[in-house]
Amino acid sequence: MFEFSIEHKQYTDWSRMVQRKGLHHLWVERDTPCLNVMFNPQNPSHVILHDTYMFCIIDQTLPLPDNKTQFYNQLTLKSLPEEQRKAHSHAFKDILCVELMSDQSLVVVERPLENVATQLPAPIKQKKFAT
């Protein structure tokens, strides 16, 4: 992840720190591409990004997690007692959009991709290759 300051014409200090220390291995090893990155105009130190299965708010004022930091995903949640599991669990699936609203609320839109495909016109749904 790189952050470049157009005003200063160089990478930001935060970006340089990320390049030196690296991101948590669970972030780097994800197999789904990042779909969107946005910034909070009212809080420029917050970076919001998402893929199909998760969204993340990175607070650049906080230290980066080291590789021993516990992240909660479906596998780690299964190993927790039920009380703790409830506090950390919401599995996203098929995130279509994440948007930050003007009142600082975050809207996450989920919808199964099969449902989206059924609403497409026939020419778009067709899977014809090399015809």
Domain boundaries along the sequence of the chain: 4-120
Residue whose C-alpha is closest to residue 56's, from 41, 42, 74, 35:
35
* pLDDT tens digits, 58-110: 899 998 888 888 776 666 677 777 777 766 666 677 888 888 888 988 888 88
* pLDDT tens digits, 12-59: 999 999 999 888 887 788 888 888 898 888 898 999 888 888 888 889
Higher pLDDT: 8 or 64? It is 8
Whether the predicted pLDDT of 126 surpasses 70: no
Element (H, E) at 5: strand 4-5
Whether the predicted pLDDT of 131 surpasses 60: no
**What pLDDT score does 9 carry?**
96
- Helix residue ranges, H only, the chain: 13-21, 25-28, 74-78, 82-88, 113-118, 122-125
